[in-house]
């Protein structure tokens, strides 16, 4: 019987070790899901702001380049004549975070 007690103790320690590893893995997955969710929400918000800025520039008679700050983003718009035709504007909207890291960029052409 005394030999069985040592065996039971080792079995319990091994089971606790395996359980601890499983709990750690599940915790890491939950943390990763949170990061992915926050990143997706950030990119979705940046896309909406970029599309709104692009549409506003397309509606202006004479769009101009500029930069504005919105809810944690820096939205920079560049307007120039298209290189192959002076009758077309090339409009580019770039969204960056506060650190200057580009999140996304949109580009289109529009007749003058």
pLDDT, one tens digit per residue, over 41-57 is 989 999 999 999 999 98
Integer Cα distance of 24 and 42 in angstroms: 27
Mean pLDDT for 88-104 is 90
- CA distances to 26, 38, 66 from 35, rounded to whole Å, are 14, 5, 31
pLDDT at 6 over 80: no
Q: Is the pLDDT of residue 85 over 80?
A: no
Kindly give, in sequence order, each residue whose CB lies less than 8 Å from that of residue 104, ignoring residues fewer than 6 positions away. 43, 46, 47, 50, 94, 95
Summarised one tens digit per residue, pLDDT across range 51-79 is 999 999 888 888 899 999 888 889 999 99
CA dihedral 93, 55, 74, 80 (to 10 degrees): 40
Average pLDDT, the chain: 89
pLDDT, residue 107, reads: 93
pTM assigned to the model: 0.70
pLDDT of residue 2: 57
Q: What is the pLDDT of residue 87?
A: 84
89, 59, 57, 95: which is closest to 76 by C-alpha? Answer: 95
Percent with pLDDT over 70 in the chain: 95
């Amino acid at each position: 019987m005394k030999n069985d007690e040592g065996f039971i103790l080792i079995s319990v320690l091994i089971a606790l070790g395996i359980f601890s590893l499983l709990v750690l893995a599940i915790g890491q997955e939950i943390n990763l899901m949170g990061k992915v969710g926050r990143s997706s929400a950030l990119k979705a918000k940046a896309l909406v702001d970029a599309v709104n800025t692009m549409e506003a520039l397309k509606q202006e008679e004479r769009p101009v380049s500029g930069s504005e700050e919105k809810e944690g983003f820096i939205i920079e718009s560049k307007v120039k004549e298209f290189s192959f035709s002076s009758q077309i504007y090339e409009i580019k909207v770039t969204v960056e975070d506060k650190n200057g890291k580009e999140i996304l960029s949109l580009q289109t052409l529009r007749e003058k």
